[in-house]
Each structure stands twice: as C-alpha cells, then as structure tokens.
Amino acid sequence: MNTEASNTPVADVKFIQVEKRFDTTTALHSLDLEIEHGTLFALLGPSGCGKTTTLRLIAGFEQPTSGQVYIRGKDVTGIPAYKRSFGMVFQNFALFPHLTVAENVAFGLKMRGVAKSDIQTKVAAALDLVELGRFGERYPRQLSGGQQQRVALARAVVFEPDVLLLDEPLSALDKMLREQMQVEIRHLQQRLKMTTVFVTHDQEEALTMSDRVAVMKDGRIQQAGTPRDIYDRPKTEFVATFLGASNILEASVRGNDDAGTVIDLAGNTLTVGRLAATQGSKVRFALRPEKISIGMAGGIKATVREAIYRGAQTFLYLDLNGTPINAVVQNAGVNQATLEPGAAIALHWDCANMVELEPQV
C-alpha cells in the first residue's frame, strides 16, 4: 500500500460502496467518498441525512452493512474504533470530568504507550497550541464553553491522528463564540495540515470553514465540491435552497441558436448556455437573489409585492408575470420610493448565473 501511495495520491479517507442499514431504515445508500490529505471536509445536511452516520463509520463506532472504509489507504472495515487512528471532538466535548485538563489531553498518549517525559512535553505543546497553557491543572467544569472546546481539540490532535473528526463541534456554543471558533479551528487545521472531517447542519459554517463540502440528503451525497462550486453551481433544487436562498425558476425550451439555448421564462425570452433539453421541454433553473439587479428601464418587467429594508440590503419580493421571484439589492443608491408595493421595475441578471437543475426524482 506504500507503493500505491507514492504513485497516486491516496485519499486519507475513502468509502467504497458503503451502505449502512439500521433495522428497517437505510441510513446510507452505497456511498462513495474520497477525502484528500490535508483538506477540511464538511458533511452538510439536515438531521437524518446520514452525515453523522458517515462520521461514525470513519470512527468505527458503527460498522458498514456492506462496502469498505479506508483510512490512509488501509482497509479498516471491521476494525474497532480504539484500534483506528483518529481524533474526535464531540458535540458536548465529552471531556472526562474526573480528570484535569492536562490528564484529559494526556489520555490518548498514555493509551498509546508514549513515554512519560514525552507525554509532558506533548501535552504542554498541545495546550499552548490552543492557548490554554496555564489551565492544565484545572478541571473541565472550571472552564468556559469555549475553553472546553479548545481542550477537546487539543485532546483530539495531540497524538497526531491520521484524521480529525468533528461532530457538530460548535453547536454547544453561542453565536459570537461560534464564529470565533470557526476561524480558530480553521487556522489550527491549516497549521497542522490535518485531514479533517466535519459534520454540520449549518450551511454558513460549512461555507466558511471547509475546503470541500458534501451536501447530503436521505443517505446520499447530493453534491460534493468546493464551497464556491456548490454555492454557485448547485446541481439540485435541494442543494440550491439548502445552501443559502435561491429562486427556482421553471422555463420552457424554445430551441437553440448560435449563442446557446433560447428559453421562455414567464413570457420573457432569454438565451442561456447550450442545454441538452429538447424543444418544448421544461427546464428548472436556480438563480441567487443577489445576482439580480434592478433598474427602471429595459430588462425583464416585474412588479414589487413587498420590499423589506434590512439596513445594508433590501429584500425584494417580486412578481414576474405570476411567477414569484426574490431579489436582494445593496442599498447603495436605491431610491426607496420606487420600491413601493405595486411599483413596476425592471430586472437584470447575467444569464450565466442561471444554473440548470437536475430534474427532480
């Protein structure tokens, strides 16, 4: 397996056709997954989508019903959690309350038979890394939530595991602390270059922190890619609406010309990039509200149904010949008077921002 590693980059975590069933329900449907070395990979989805099951399969807390799990090119299917090499930060941190901070961090080193003198230096280094050098003798209950979080991180990385797993690590923290910890975890991960898999239901968190995101639903990965990819080029309606707001617009195909495919959207003729769809068929597009700009003339005619002033932006709920459409505009030079309900305005957008969605199953 070492020779294999030197030829082609071997993914740090790899799932081959992994299926997981619990009694009658299927949590994962033959999942294929590859997580490259050094990336921060987010598993994003609503509860029950299988993201936590995926994480627990990497850990070995669950074993797949069928398929194989590889960590660093080694088949770990069937190997119990305590014989794998991963660090994990749990939702409630799960710091051992009967041990001090230093003893908590030392636990993994002790279990792996590291020499006593090495344990001391490593624990001190790990605590310094999370800026808790002076807190070694305290007990977890004497620390704040953010400090406990950092101890949990130090405990999970101190023995240099192959993979770091984070199970909704920020959900127990308040909003301010959460945003601060997002940045801290990101910095720590980049410094250690540790392959990290991270479970969250918070799309903003996934976009902010990760190199790659896999959006999951009903035990399947809907789409995987960089945050920008997924946000800008969603493949399905679910991805488009789960990550941020999106207009889902249905248009019918008129035919192709030299510039691309001509479509009819609520009575407006638009030309988008060439589509495979045949003439007369219906195609659905995602269009982000912030990609739409407004003017008085030209463009596509719409009526204002409601305008909500939000300080920096105005949220516009519009009507496009009976089709509802939302836009978000920056309040740089907008004349509020024109945005009264019932006012007619013109919409502009670059048709390249209209992303064709896969037909719904």
Partner 1 sequence: MRSRLSKNSLALAVALPPLVILGLFFVVPLCYLLFVSFMTNSATSLFDLQPTFMNYAEIFSDPFYWLIIRRTLLSTAVVLILCLLLGYPVAFYAARLSPRGRLIMLMVMMVPLMVSNVVRAYGWVAILGRRGVVSSTLTGAGIIERPMQFLYSFEAVTLGLLTILLPFMIVSLTNSLATIDKRYTEAAYSLGAGPWRTFFRVTLPLSSPGIASGLMLVTFLTLSAYVTIALLGGPRYKLLVSLVFDSVTTFRWPRAAALSFILLLIALIIAVVIQLVIRPQRVQGKG
- Give the footprint of partner 1 on this chain (CB under 8 A): 59-61, 80-83, 86-88, 90-98, 107-108, 111-112, 139-141, 155-156, 159, 165
Question: Considering beta carbons, is residue 97 or 333 the nearer one to partner 1?
Answer: 97
Question: Considering beta carbons, is residue 173 or 329 the nearer one to partner 1?
Answer: 173
Question: Considering beta carbons, is residue 122 or 155 the nearer one to partner 1?
Answer: 155
Question: Considering beta carbons, is residue 12 or 237 the nearer one to partner 1?
Answer: 12
Q: How far is the CB of 91 from partner 1 (least distance, A)?
A: 7
| Cβ within 8 Å of residue 170, ≥6 positions away | 149, 178, 181, 182, 185, 200, 202, 205
The closest of 209, 118, 132 to 160, measured between CA atoms, is 118
Cβ atoms within 10 Å, residue 351: 16
Query: What's the CA angle centered on 169, arms 165 and 170, to 5 degrees?
Result: 150
Q: How far is the CB of 33 from partner 1 (least distance, A)?
A: 20
The closest of 251, 254, 248 to 282, measured between CA atoms, is 251
Q: How far is the CB of 97 from partner 1 (least distance, A)?
A: 5
Question: Considering beta carbons, is residue 107 or 242 the nearer one to partner 1?
Answer: 107
Judge whether 109 and 122 are in contact, CB under 8 Å.
yes
Q: How far is the CB of 93 from partner 1 (least distance, A)?
A: 7
Give the whole-angstrom CA distance, residue 291 versus residue 327.
8
- Strand blocks (E) in 140-287: 163-167, 195-200, 212-217, 220-225, 247-257, 260-265, 268-272, 282-287
Q: How far is the CB of 21 from partner 1 (least distance, A)?
A: 20
Q: How far is the CB of 23 from partner 1 (least distance, A)?
A: 14
Judge whether 164 and 197 are in contact, CB under 8 Å.
yes
Let me know how long the chain is. Answer: 361
Question: Considering beta carbons, is residue 91 or 241 the nearer one to partner 1?
Answer: 91
Question: Considering beta carbons, is residue 105 or 213 the nearer one to partner 1?
Answer: 105
Q: How far is the CB of 64 from partner 1 (least distance, A)?
A: 17
Strand-pairing partners, residue 352, are none
Q: Residue type for 326, please?
A: N
